[in-house]
């Protein structure tokens, strides 16, 4: 039957799932409806319009306890190494727990149905159904405290520079402990991928920076204004020389920081831009409570964060990130060729100068 009205897509088949089916084929052939279909749409969008194009700059935000679940090493690292992630905005907690893996410290599968009072007595820490020794925190704290007490940290620096410097040390720790390729920070350092944290004080990394100041070991000063300008400069360059896409895992502060680049350019700096060209989000947050985590891409259009002409390229899947991230990673690793690394961290000064020039041109 012909589709005269344009409402009917491909016919849903009756094909069976058989042994040996790849994750990419599973998504393509059998994720036909509801949030499964939205995950499939994100995968196809990445494959057909983003990752097989060199001129699309993709920013990724990480919210929720993703690195403790091993998703840093298993998914984010290979995406970085293959040029599929150009810059990252993350919670500080994800970056702190990332360090455990570089140091060879153990995280364990467990159950959410345990006695937390008993865990406390045994000095065990729980993140839902992940359990690890309290000593993991103590060893990680000692490591980051020593690293950030180093001379190169004692200055005013953006979080991208902070994480780049930590990443250098973590990359060296990976070689020492035989854990190469296990950390987001190490991979981002090697690939020149800038990593930002909009709330650096809201994590154990920030707590250790505070301890360094309190005890007189040094003075690490985080310049949050540099983060705002650097990310705006990255997005402006992507607009001038191609397209900009965002892939949001979770919501919270990293989501807003990733999206606020557009109003920073158009509203604050008076540089006319069109909004992000591609918007993909994995979330469990509802839109009707007014929180940013659940805000839809169409709502973001009203803020100038998303290009209204590109709403067909905006997809939200309401699903747990721990389900979606491995599937999306497996799909793009199978269907997309590695991209040349953009090494945006190395271009920060150049991009900031371009931002200043465009601001002057539009504010005479």
What digits encode the pLDDT tens for the residues 104-120?
A: 999 999 999 999 999 99
Looking at the chain, how many residues does it have? 364
Residue 225 has what pLDDT?
96
pTM: 0.92
Residue corresponding to tokens 């360059």: 237
Per-residue pLDDT averaged across 182-203, rounded?
96
Q: How many helices (H) and strands (E) does the chain have?
A: 16, 11
Per the DSSP assignment, residues forming a β-bridge with 318 are 283
Residue 307 has what pLDDT?
62
Residue 12 has what pLDDT?
87
The tokens for 300 are: 């973001």
pLDDT more than 90, % of the chain: 81
For the domain made up of 34-361, the CATH class stated in words is alpha beta
Largest Cα–Cα distance in the chain? 76
- Does residue 305 carry a catalytic annotation? yes
Report pLDDT digits (tens) over 61-76. 999 999 999 999 999 9
Report pLDDT digits (tens) over 146-162. 999 999 999 999 999 99
Residue 285: pLDDT over 80? no
In this structure, are residues 10 and 23 in contact, taking their beta carbons and an 8 Å threshold?
no
Give dist(CA 338, CA 351) in Å, integer: 24
Residue 226 has what pLDDT?
97
Picking from 345, 359, 362, the residue whose alpha carbon sits closest to that of residue 191 is 345
Query: Mean pLDDT over all residues of the chain?
Result: 92
Report pLDDT digits (tens) over 198-224. 999 889 999 999 999 999 999 999 999
Residue 67 has what pLDDT?
97
Question: Which element (helix H / strand E) includes 93?
Answer: helix 92-102
Report pLDDT digits (tens) over 31-56. 999 999 999 999 999 999 999 888 99
Catalytic residue among 8, 168, 176, 305: 305
For the four alpha carbons of 189, 193, 194 and 197, in that order, the dihedral sign comes to: negative
Residue 8 has what pLDDT?
85
Which residues, 6+ apart, have CB-to-CB distance to 314 below 8 Å? Answer: 278, 279, 280, 297, 298, 306
Residue 300: pLDDT over 80? no
Question: Cβ–Cβ contacts within 10 Å for residue 124, how many?
Answer: 18
Residue 350: pLDDT over 50? yes
Picking from 22, 34, 186, the residue whose alpha carbon sits closest to that of residue 95 is 186
């Amino acid at each position: 039957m012909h589709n005269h009205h344009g409402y009917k897509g491909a016919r849903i088949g009756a094909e069976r799932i058989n042994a040996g089916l790849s994750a990419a084929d599973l998504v393509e052939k059998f994720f036909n409806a509801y949030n499964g279909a939205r995950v499939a749409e994100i995968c196809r969008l990445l494959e057909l319009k983003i990752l097989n194009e060199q001129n699309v700059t993709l920013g990724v935000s990480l919210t929720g306890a993703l690195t403790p679940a091993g998703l840093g090493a298993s998914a984010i690292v290979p995406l970085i190494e293959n040029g599929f992630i150009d810059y990252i905005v993350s919670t500080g907690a994800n970056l702190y727990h990332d360090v455990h893996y570089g140091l060879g410290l153990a995280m364990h599968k467990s159950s959410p149905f345990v006695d937390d009072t008993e865990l406390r007595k045994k000095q065990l820490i729980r993140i839902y159904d992940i359990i690890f020794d309290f000593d993991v925190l103590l060893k990680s704290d000692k490591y980051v405290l020593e690293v950030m007490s180093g001379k190169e940290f004692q200055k005013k620096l953006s979080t991208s520079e902070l994480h780049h410097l930590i990443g250098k040390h973590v990359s060296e720790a990976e070689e020492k402990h035989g854990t190469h390729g296990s950390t987001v920070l190490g991979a981002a350092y090697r690939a020149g991928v800038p990593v930002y944290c909009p709330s650096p004080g809201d994590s154990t990394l920030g707590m250790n920076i505070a301890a360094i100041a309190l005890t007189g070991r040094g003075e690490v000063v985080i310049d949050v204004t540099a983060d705002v300008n650097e990310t705006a400069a990255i997005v402006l360059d992507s607009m001038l020389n191609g397209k900009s896409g965002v892939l949001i895992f979770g919501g919270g502060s990293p989501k807003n920081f990733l999206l606020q680049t557009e109003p920073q350019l158009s509203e604050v700096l008076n540089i006319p831009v069109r909004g992000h060209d591609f918007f993909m989000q994995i979330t469990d947050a509802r839109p009707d409570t007014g929180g940013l985590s659940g805000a839809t891409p169409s709502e973001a259009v009203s803020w100038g964060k998303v290009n209204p002409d590109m709403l067909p390229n905006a997809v939200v899947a309401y699903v747990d990130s721990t389900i979606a991230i491995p599937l999306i990673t497996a799909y793009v690793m199978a269907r997309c060729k590695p991209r040349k690394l953009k090494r945006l961290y190395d271009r920060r000064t150049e991009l900031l100068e371009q931002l200043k020039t465009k601001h002057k041109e539009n504010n005479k």
